[in-house]
Amino acid sequence: MCGIWALFGLDKQPLTCICENFNKISHRGPEAFKIEFDNRVKNGYLGFHRLAIVDSLYGMQPMRILKHPHLFLLCNGEIYNWDNLRKQHDFEYATKCDVEVIMHMYNYAGANNVAQSLDGVFAFCLMDVLNRRILIARDPYGVRPLFRLRSENGQLAICSESKGLMAISKHISGNWTLEPFPPGHYEIYEILDDGRTKLLESCRYHKPGGKPSFRWYISWGALNPKDVPGNIRKLLSGAVEKRLMTDRQIGCLLSGGLDSSLIAALLMKLAKENKLPYQIQSFAIGMGDSPDIIAARQVARHIGTKHHEVIFTQQDVIDVLNDVIYSLETYDITTIRASIGMYLLSKYIKQNTETTVIFSGEGADELAQGYIYFRDAPNARDAHNESLRLLHDIYLYDGLRADRTTSAFSLELRVPFLDLQFTNYYLSLSPESRQPQGGIEKHLLRSAFDGTGLLPDNILWRHKEAFSDGVASIKKSLFRVIQEIVEDRVSNEDLENAGTKYPHCTPKTKEAYYYRRVFESHYEGQAENFTPYFWMPRWVKNITDPSARFIKHYAAKEENWLKT
C-alpha cells in the first residue's frame, strides 16, 4: 500500500501545488517519499509515498529500470501473477518488486493490453517520455483508490485520495472535474509540448463477473464441474494463498461473522502450510457486550490466532467522528457508521503491533447475496443483477470504507472475496443457487464449507449482522449512539432548509446533515461526483434508514451462539 500523486500541465505555481497537496496522503506511505521531475516533460511531476511491502531496497518509485529508461511508473498495488508473466514472456526483472511487470507488459504488448493482463489490485500511472504518452489504470473492483482531476485546458492530476487534489483546483483557470477514476478502466493521454495532456482513449477492460484474460492461478483443469462446493473452497483458498505475497507481518480483521471468519480460518490454514515464521494475529472490536466481540473470540480459539479485542466507548466515537468523515471522503450514512469501528481498530493495530498487511472479508455480501434484503428479491435474475450493481459500485461504499479506514493508519488491506477468478466462477453459477435458501443468506457459500471443520457450525451459520450493529452493544445500536452525539450539533432550522443548501442527496435527518456539513468543509462542491446516491437496501418498503435493524427479517438477538 502506498500513495501516488502526479501533476501535468500546470504552469502556474506548480511547486506551491506540490507543497499544498502532496503531503496530504503521507499516511498511505509514511516510510519514504519522492517527487520527480524530468525536463523532457514540461510541468510534469510524479510523487510517491511508500509503505514497503516487498523489495524494500529497490522498490522505490517513481520506478525506473535500465532496460526501459524512457518509462516512469507510479503504482499502488500488488500484482499476484508477476512471476507467471515473467516466465510466460521471458521478462528480465531488475527488482524483486511485483509492479515492475507493468513496465515490461507496456513495452511488450502496448498500452491497450496492460491492465487486463494483471491479476491483482492496482492503481497506476505510467509515463512514457519517448512516445509522449501517459497510461492510467485501475483494478476491476477499485480495491486500490484513485482520483483524477482534469481541466478543459488539458491539465491533469491524479492521486490515491481526493484530499491530495482539492487545493490544486484553485490554480486552474477554466472548467475542471474531480472524480474517482472508474474501476476496470484505463485511459491513454498524449503529452503535449507545453506539458498539458490530450485524452486519446478511455476503455473499460473488465466488468464485474467477467472472465479474466490472464492465466488463472487455479487452472480450469483442477476444477470439477460436478463439485461446486469443492470448487468454491479451492478457489477461495487460492485467492487467500496468492495474497500471502509480502515481506511484512500479516494479520486479519475478525468480526465473528461468516465473511471475516472464513478468511481468517483459511489464512491460518495456509500460513501453516506455507510455514510463515510467526503466529497470525486477529483483531476484533466492539462496545462492551457486542455480538461481534463474543463471536470473534470463539473463532479465534477455534483457528488458533493470537487474538486482540478492542473495546470502544461513546467518547471514542465523539473523538474520531469528524476524522473518519475526512478520511473517508464521503457523507454516505451507512458507510460512515460502519467505518467508525474499523477506523478505531486500525488505529489500535498500528499503535500496538507489527502487523502491516491485513486480510478482511469485504466483497462477500455483494458477491454472495449476503445483505438481508436479498431475501425480498422478486426473482433470481433480479438478485443476480443486484449483485452486479453492488460490485460495480463497491468502490464508492464498502470498498472505500475498507481502504480509507486502514490506510489512514498505514495498513495494507487484502480482500480475497474480490479475487477476479473467484468472482468470475461464483457469478457463473446458476442464479437460483446463489439466492438465500430457507431464510439464510449466503447459503451456497456456507454450504461449501459445511462439514469441513474449518469453522464451528454456529459461526458458519450465524445470521447476518450489520457491521455497525455487530460492534455495538446489544442494548443500543451504534447509529443510536451517533444520533445522540449529533442531536445538539444540528438545529431544527438547519434540517428544514437542507433541501435548499444540499439539493443532491438531501439530508433527511440530523445525523445525515451533520455528515454532509463536515464533508463539505473538506470537499466543497464534490458531493455529486464522490457519492452519487445514499446506500440503501432494495425491495424493502417504508424504510428510510439504511440500518439492517429496520428490515423485518433482521434477527439480531442474543442467541445460543453467544455462549462462550
Largest CA-CA distance found in the chain, in angstroms, rounded = 70
Sign of CA dihedral 345, 144, 48, 52: positive
HSE at residue 329, side-chain half, CA atoms within 13 A, is 28
Task: State yes or no: 491 annotated in a binding site.
Answer: no
Residue among 460, 352, 463 nearest 409 (CA): 352
26, β-bridge pairs: none
Amino acid (1-letter code) at residue 477: S
253 is in an annotated binding site: yes
- Number of H helices and E strands in the chain, helices first, is 20, 17
To the question of whether residue 56 is assigned a binding role by annotation, the answer is no
Task: Say if residue 98 carries a ligand binding annotation.
Answer: yes
381: number of Cβ within 10 Å: 11
Return the amino acid letter for 385. Answer: N
As given in the structure block, the three cell numbers for residue 220 are 480450469
User: Are 98 and 15 within 8 A, CB to CB?
Assistant: no
SS3 214: coil
| Cα 301 from Cα 113, distance rounded (Å) | 46
Catalytic residue among 2, 17, 159, 252: 2
| Cβ–Cβ < 8 Å for 495, 510 | yes
Instruction: Name residue 503's amino acid.
Output: P
Select from 15, 48, 19, 22 the least CA-distant residue to 33. 48
- Per DSSP bridges, beta strands 68-79 and 44-50 are unpaired
End-to-end CA distance of the chain: 37
Q: Point out which residues pair with 71 in neighbouring strands.
A: 128
The amino acid at residue 378 is P
Nearest to 247 by CA among 91, 405, 25, 57: 57
Contact 342, 327 (CB under 8 A): no
Q: Give the 3-state secondary structure of residue 511.
A: helix
125 labelled catalytic: no
CA distance 518 to 412: 26
List, as residue ranges, the binding site.
98, 253, 285, 360-361
Binding site residues for L-glutamine, as ranges?
98
> Which residues are the active-site residues?
2
Annotated binding site for ATP: 253, 285, 360-361
